[in-house]
Amino acid sequence: MNLADYNRIHFIGIGGISMSSLAEILAHEGKTVSGSDMKASPLTQHLEESGIKVCIGQKAENITPDMELIVYTAAVSADNPEFIAAKASGAKVIDRAELVGTLMLTYKYPISVAGTHGKTTTSSILTEIFLEAGTDPTISLGGVLNTIGGNFRIGKNDYFVVETCEYRDSFLKFNPHSAVILNVDKDHTDYFKDLDHIYRSFNTFAKRLPEGGTLVINSDIKDVERVTDGVKAKIVTYGTKGDWTAENISFNAAGFGRYTACYKGEKQAEIALSIPGLHNVYNSLAAFAIAKVYGLKTEDIVKGIDNYKGVDRRFQHKGEFNGVVVVDDYAHHPTEIAATINSARSGSAKTLWIVFQPHTYTRTHDLLDEFAQALSKSDKVVVLDIYAAREKDTGLVHSKDLVEKINALGGAEAFYQPSFEAAEEFLKNSCQSGDILITMGAGDVFKLGESLVK
């Protein structure tokens, strides 16, 4: 497919963080862009202010005869009336992943950042590095980075940094020159049958890299050779072992890491982070390694890492109420939750509160024991109702099941709250000055923390 052949492009689900950035990139290239979403949001408002027509509500009549290319997000169901009308319209209909893959082909060095966790942080650090190096990159992130004023940036046609999601094998339609694979973990169980299925998908993705490209991969991935088997591209490893390692790791009182970046045992640079946690030591090391693939200067890489102060919804300080520090974090998988709790533990909080909003019924059901184990490492846990996202409640699992599991472990004390209002009142009466409270999840739980701060 050649994007030059299409001028009127419509997005079904344009309010998504990735879809909105793609819409703006194409609008910037002179395309006539429109879209729809189920509900209004700051992103849809921004798109409209940018001159892009957005319909709220997904209806068949949103599809018009003049549309030449229609792009839909993976969250759109087969019985969506607008999607059905699109299929019958005569326009070319593709999913978001195919559009990204096609767009990648218009750049000299498209770079994918993949993995179950840490993609947004690592992509954002890499963005800071490429900006510091003066490469004028094009960027597509899964979070809002203040440095670029949003989740995307339009630059020249050399470097294109793309946060790359594995859900529904969407990344198998991407065409990167090089890629980072941060980790491989069980997730998206509404699509992937098991962990073996996930490993096969990451291996297929890695084998898409050309011979002249490079795969930077975490050597600490269990059975990492299952991912690298048959890969034509050059393989560079990082982690506690491998080509790139982080030596002399230490943390300050805020939990921010410091370390020596080494390549094959030779010191390359001293790194000081402005974000907490051991996991972010290795996220930044991965960014360092891929930047070196493209010959960027060490001093630019170090300064770029130093410039990174975090993105929205990644251990983001929101404010305080009654002396309680409120942080928001996007963690919605047990591994991510454990990493966030470990980061918070490096501070001096009196009591660590987690307000957790589970994300999707299938993930909650299939990883229920793992969620309980991870959350039990905090002190107090408030569990809200499950955020359905793309799913419907079939009675498979309830948040109360998670509360029971946590309490049975004998670590943290867990409470179920049926609404944001009930949770807010409970927290106001229960939290003490000096505590830290983290709103956690991929849904809209951040609104609760913002309400408490207000």
Tell me the whole-structure pTM to 2 decimals.
0.80
To which residue do tokens 């099941």 refer? 401
Res 347: pLDDT: 62
d(CA 331, CA 311): 13
Residue range 107-307, CATH number: 3.40.1190.10
Res 191: pLDDT: 76
Res 348: pLDDT: 60
- Cα dihedral: 190, 192, 193, 194 (round 10): -120
Report the candidate in 99, 119, 174, 110 with the shortest Cα–Cα distance to residue 137: 110
Each domain of the chain, given as residue ranges in start order, spans: 3-95, 107-307, 316-453
User: In Å, what is the CA distance from 66 to each residue of 7, 70, 92, 400?
Assistant: 10, 11, 12, 50
The pLDDT tens digits of the residues spanning 368-418 come to 999 999 999 999 999 999 999 878 898 999 999 999 999 999 899 999 999
Query: The domain 316-453 is classified under which CATH number: 3.90.190.20, 1.10.569.10, 3.40.47.10, 1.20.140.10?
Result: 3.90.190.20
Query: The domain 3-95 is classified under which CATH number: 3.40.50.2300, 3.40.50.720, 3.30.70.1560, 3.40.50.11540?
Result: 3.40.50.720
- What count of Cα atoms within 13 Å lies in the side-chain half-sphere of residue 140? 29
Q: Which position has the higher pLDDT, 117 or 35?
A: 35
The pLDDT tens digits of the residues spanning 7-47 come to 999 999 999 888 998 999 899 989 999 999 998 998 899 99
Q: Are 292 and 301 in contact (CB under 8 A)?
A: yes
To which residue do tokens 């491998």 refer? 242
The mean pLDDT of the chain is 93
Same-fold call for 107-307 versus 316-453: no
Strands 256-263 and 266-276, by their bridges, are: antiparallel
The pLDDT tens digits of the residues spanning 294-312 come to 999 999 999 999 999 887 7
To which residue do tokens 């209909």 refer? 93
Res 425: pLDDT: 97
d(CA 262, CA 259): 9
Tokens at residue 86, please?
A: 């699109």
Q: How far is CA 8 from the centre of its chain?
A: 29
Res 168: pLDDT: 81
SS3 sequence of 291-344? HHHCCCCHHHHHHHHHHCCCCCCCCEEEEEECCEEEEEECCCCHHHHHHHHHHH
The pLDDT tens digits of the residues spanning 212-265 come to 999 999 999 999 999 999 999 999 999 999 999 999 999 887 778 999 999 999
Per-residue pLDDT band at 349 (split at 50, 70, 90): low
Res 192: pLDDT: 82
Tokens at residue 23, please?
A: 């819409």
Report the candidate in 370, 362, 419 with the shortest Cα–Cα distance to residue 388: 362
d(CA 391, CA 330): 19
User: In Å, what is the CA distance from 225 to each residue of 101, 164, 302, 304?
Assistant: 26, 21, 30, 31
To which residue do tokens 């993976």 refer? 74
d(CA 327, CA 314): 9
Res 361: pLDDT: 95
User: In Å, what is the CA distance from 434 to each residue of 172, 286, 454?
Assistant: 47, 35, 18
Pinpoint the alpha helices (H) of 36-150: 42-49, 81-87, 96-104, 119-132
d(CA 395, CA 388): 12
- Residue positions annotated with a catalytic role: 119-120, 163
